[in-house]
Amino acid sequence: MSLLALAEMFPDEESARRWFESQVWPKERCCGHCGSVRTKTVPSEKPMPYWCSDCRSYFSVRTGTVLERSKVPLRKWAYAVYILTTSVKSVPSTKLAEDIGVTQPTAWFLLQRLRKAWNHPGQRRRMRGTVEVDETYFGGKEKNKRVKSKLGRGPVGKTAVVGAKNRDTKQVSARVVGTGTPPAPVLRDFVEDTAETGSTVYSDGAWAYKTMTGFTHASVAHSRGEYVRYEKGRCIHTNGIESFWAILKRAYMGTFHWLSPKHLQRYIDEFCWRSNAHSLGTLERMELTAAGMVGKRLTYRELIGGS
């Protein structure tokens, strides 16, 4: 979808409201407070355009979604959805603020709300078949660390992220798992939560993966310079999940420059969503984003408090 097509699709605030309503309520309008469909239109639209006959409350398409209590016009929200879904390496809040005409803090809060819309933990299906697993680390530069923490290029003082990629479906999942080298139980729990029992798991030579049960496991020894191995007709490597890390690191360095450990999982979720939705068209990604807003209100207090 081109920018011209976007402008034609959302010429005014009313068109944006109708679009969001069609995505949030695809079948029938329902109350954002109690879920009732016994609703009616408020002619004056004051204080809100709809009234629920069951809980006797006013509501709008924003109620009960990441849009709730946002003063940003829905047309600007629609443009933000377009910009974020079409940006290959995401978009910094400074750039979005300039593009849609809001302040940088407002743009940052808006982006975090959209990232929450992309997080569907209860809807993730466990991977089956061949699954690649690997870890990566995010952290500050050596010159910014205390002397006792300057122990080279390893994981000391860095935030660890473990991820998996299904070779068959290309689906990706990743999780922040603390600081430093993740303990074996944490890595095993991630694999068990992510892959179905009986799946084939490929990893590096980390000892933790060798203690897993219920999976067919094979590894490559990166420490010995081994990155691909052929064994009994199998091509053993973790290049797929490592390519995902490469994309994430390029965004980390080129778009954000630094990410707070407190909010890192939100950015991880964003890039998992991007990878998993790569085959969809722009409008489909926008519609999926809007539909994912339901039931996911995020307050500023929750955001800065680390919830």
Tokens of 196: 């179905």
Q: Would you state the pLDDT for residue 306?
A: 52
- Of 293, 247, 290, give the one whose Cα is nearest residue 268: 247
pLDDT tens digits, one per residue of 236-275? 999 999 999 999 999 988 898 888 889 999 999 999 999 9
Q: What is the 3-state secondary structure (H, E, C) of 140-185?
A: CCHHHCCHHHCCCCCCCCCEEEEEEEECCCCCEEEEEEEECCCCHH
Q: Would you state the pLDDT for residue 259?
A: 85
Q: Would you state the pLDDT for residue 176?
A: 96
Q: Would you state the pLDDT for residue 211?
A: 86
Q: How many whole angstroms separate alpha carbon 167 and alpha carbon 243?
A: 12
Q: Would you state the pLDDT for residue 146?
A: 53
Q: Would you state the pLDDT for residue 151?
A: 43
What type of residue is 61? V
Which domains, from first to last, does the chain contain? 1-25+65-118+261-307 (no CATH), 30-60 (no CATH), 124-259 (3.30.420)
- Of 246, 208, 205, 197, give the one whose Cα is nearest residue 226: 205
Residues 6+ apart with CB under 8 A from 268: 161, 174, 175, 176, 248
The pTM of this model reads 0.88
Q: How many whole angstroms separate alpha carbon 218 and alpha carbon 210?
A: 8
Q: Would you state the pLDDT for residue 225?
A: 86
Q: Would you state the pLDDT for residue 154?
A: 64
Q: Would you state the pLDDT for residue 224?
A: 86
Q: Would you state the pLDDT for residue 194?
A: 95
Which residues sit opposite 216 in a β-bridge? 200
Residues 6+ apart with CB under 8 A from 150: 142
Q: Would you state the pLDDT for residue 174?
A: 96
- Residues (pLDDT < 70) of the chain are 121-123, 140-154, 306-307
Q: Would you state the pLDDT for residue 122?
A: 52
